[in-house]
């Protein structure tokens, strides 16, 4: 009894078989809980295809987006054919799919004429997959005898206007969610809410960042004071490493909010990094479960999990990064260098993932996404033009092709020698560590290594510190 918010990710709703399985799970949970809300992603690959369609259109290509439309039509029609048994539902859904695909075609056509796609246009375009899927799933549940209604999160989640990475305005969002969803829940209607998207106060569509449906579920769950939030994906839970990199990675049965925040922040794709915050604020337990293996319990995330055994529980990596170093002997003791450096970074709208300052104050070094590196380096050079001319700062150096590898676990706070074992594992494997940082929460240690060493670094730390460390 109580309220459950569940989210299904792309692969969990990406094929006819998966959709059937997801519907079985929804119907089973609808019997267990007083109120059930479902948040859905687009079918896997659809968001990528929509973005690619729009990008190529901006470059003047009008074939790629037409190909995307054709593929999406085939995929959606097949799902409608196989899953919607009621002729009225089929007709209505086919019309809806056609409508969305026409809209996408029109957008891409305009983008091609304009020769650019703005972040704002991209949000409207890239969230079409969620709109289609919510309607499909609601119709499928109705065909199976449940009461269900598709709802666009543009009606529910009010955000700022940081397109492609919008932040919800929680008070307004809470009001809207309660006003719109509570009456449905009281009538035992299962709302199927589009993940990933929201809208500004003016009603302009925004998105919460790639992988944002997890975050949508946490927002909806928190605003409804759900008893639990469950995210359904394609692995058995949060694992000790990305199973694609480390085949013997294992499921972690229980983790704390703090540990999962670090894991997600440092690249574990299984949850969007901002998912945890709404859950912490209302102390809502979060479960990560496998749609294709629903009997397995999955991972439970809550606030009491810190004392579970194992100093390091997981190891992650973020790819595609560059390290920028501002260095020079004349920096020592000069106040404000760090503040000016990061102000120059912020002016480029880039987010800094990790900062290292040598204690002699002769260098500051930080890691940002590589796509931002040229503009950020230029901006820092402009800011420091005087110091560079005086040779107080020797140079602003950019090293591309670096990766942050992080070892995460609250237990490392009480366990001496964890860092030594992490470094030991890397030195045995002959991997050079370019930089080191330890989070002040003492819940993670992060290392900068060259991109070519990233997979080996993750595998070695996993083997030495997690698998052997637990023996």
HSE-CB at 191 with a 13 A cutoff on CA atoms is 29
The correct pick among 238, 344, 407, 422 for binding ligand ADP (CB under 6 A) is 238
Determine if 244 is a binding residue for ligand ADP (CB under 6 A).
yes
Determine if 47 is a binding residue for ligand ASP (CB under 6 A).
yes
Determine if 463 is a binding residue for ligand ASP (CB under 6 A).
no
The correct pick among 129, 168, 211, 298 for binding Mg ion (CB under 5 A) is 211
The correct pick among 3, 4, 5, 12 for binding ligand ADP (CB under 6 A) is 12
H or E, element range at 110: helix 87-114
In angstroms, rounded to a whole number, what is the distance separating the alpha carbons of residues 164 and 332?
39
212 and 272 Cβ atoms separated by less than 8 Å: yes
| CA-based nearest residue to 165, from 246, 272, 237 | 272
Tell me the window of 97-105, 209-217, 238-246, 256-264 that interacts with ligand ASP (CB under 6 A).
Answer: 209-217
Per-residue tokens: 284: 């809502």
Question: CA Rg, the chain, in Å?
Answer: 24
Q: Which of ligand ADP, Mg ion, ligand ASP, none does residue 196 bind to, with CB < 5 to 8 Å depending on kind?
A: ligand ASP
**Residues in binding contact with ligand ADP, number by CB under 6 A:** 19
Of 83-142, binders to ligand ASP (CB under 6 A) are 129
For ligand ASP, give the closer residue by CB, 159 or 459: 159
Determine if 242 is a binding residue for ligand ADP (CB under 6 A).
yes
Q: How far is the CB of 210 from ligand ASP (least distance, A)?
A: 4
Of 365-404, binders to ligand ADP (CB under 6 A) are none
In angstroms, rounded to a whole number, what is the distance separating the alpha carbons of residues 290 and 237?
7
322 and 370 Cβ atoms separated by less than 8 Å: yes
For ligand ASP, give the closer residue by CB, 7 or 313: 7
Per-residue tokens: 242: 């990305």
Determine if 53 is a binding residue for ligand ASP (CB under 6 A).
no
| CA-based nearest residue to 54, from 116, 128, 127 | 116
In angstroms, rounded to a whole number, what is the distance separating the alpha carbons of residues 104 and 98?
10
Burial class for 307, CB neighbours closer than 10 Å (0-12, 13-18, 19+): exposed
| CA-based nearest residue to 356, from 447, 422, 421 | 447
Q: How far is the CB of 267 from ligand ASP (least distance, A)?
A: 15
| CA-based nearest residue to 275, from 341, 241, 320, 230 | 230
Tell me the window of 206-214, 260-268, 317-325, 342-350 that interacts with ligand ASP (CB under 6 A).
Answer: 206-214
In angstroms, rounded to a whole number, what is the distance separating the alpha carbons of residues 384 and 163?
31
List the x/- string, 97-136, binding to ligand ADP by CB under 6 A. Answer: ----------------------------------------
Of 40-99, binders to ligand ADP (CB under 6 A) are 41
Determine if 210 is a binding residue for ligand ASP (CB under 6 A).
yes
Chain contacts with Mg ion (rule: CB under 5 A): 9, 211
Chain contacts with ligand ADP (rule: CB under 6 A): 9-12, 41, 211, 233-235, 238-239, 241-244, 268-270, 314
């Amino acid at each position: 009894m109580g309220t459950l918010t569940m989210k299904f990710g792309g692969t969990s709703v990406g094929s006819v078989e998966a959709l059937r399985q997801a519907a079985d799970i929804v119907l089973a949970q609808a019997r267990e809980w007083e109120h059930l809300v479902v948040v859905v992603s687009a079918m896997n690959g659809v968001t990528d295809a929509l973005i690619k369609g729009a990008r190529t259109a901006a470059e003047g290509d009008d074939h790629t987006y037409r190909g995307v439309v054709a593929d999406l039509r085939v995929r959606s029609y097949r799902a409608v054919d196989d899953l919607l048994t009621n002729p009225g539902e089929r007709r209505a859904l086919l019309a809806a799919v056609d409508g969305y695909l026409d809209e996408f075609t029109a957008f891409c056509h305009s983008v091609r004429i304009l020769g650019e796609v703005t972040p704002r246009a991209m949000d409207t375009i890239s969230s079409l997959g969620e709109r289609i899927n919510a309607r499909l799933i609601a119709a499928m549940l109705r065909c199976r005898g449940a009461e269900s209604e598709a709802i666009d999160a543009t009606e529910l989640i009010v955000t700022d206007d940081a397109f492609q990475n919008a932040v919800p305005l929680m008070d307004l969002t809470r009001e809207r969610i309660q006003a719109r969803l509570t009456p449905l829940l009281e009538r035992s209607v299962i709302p199927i809410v589009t993940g990933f998207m929201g809208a500004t106060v003016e009603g302009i569509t925004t998105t919460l960042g790639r992988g944002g449906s997890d975050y949508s579920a946490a927002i909806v769950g928190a605003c409804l004071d759900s008893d639990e939030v469950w995210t359904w994906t394609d692995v058995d839970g949060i694992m000790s490493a990305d199973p694609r990199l480390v085949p013997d990675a294992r499921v972690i049965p229980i983790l704390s909010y703090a540990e999962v925040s670090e894991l997600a922040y440092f690249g574990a794709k299984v949850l969007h990094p901002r998912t945890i915050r709404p859950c912490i604020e209302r102390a809502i337990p979060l479960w990560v479960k496998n749609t294709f293996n629903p009997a397995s319990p999955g991972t439970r995330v809550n606030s009491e999990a810190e004392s579970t055994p194992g100093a390091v529980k997981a190891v992650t990596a973020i790819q595609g990064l560059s390290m920028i170093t501002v260095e020079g002997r004349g920096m020592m003791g000069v106040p404000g260098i760090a503040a000016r450096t990061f102000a120059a970074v912020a002016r480029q709208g880039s987010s800094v993932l990790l900062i290292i300052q040598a204690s002699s104050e002769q260098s500051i070094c930080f890691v940002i996404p590589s796509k931002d590196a040229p503009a950020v380096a230029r901006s820092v050079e402009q800011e420091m033009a005087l110091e560079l001319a005086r040779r107080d700062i020797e140079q602003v150096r950019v090293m591309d092709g670096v990766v942050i590898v992080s070892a995460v676990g609250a237990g490392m706070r009480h366990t001496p020698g964890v860092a030594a074992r992490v470094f030991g594992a890397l030195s045995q494997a002959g991997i050079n560590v370019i930089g080191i940082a330890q989070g002040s929460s003492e819940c993670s240690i992060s290392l900068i290594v060259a991109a070519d060493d990233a997979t080996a670094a993750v595998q070695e730390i996993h083997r030495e510190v997690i698998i052997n460390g637990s023996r």
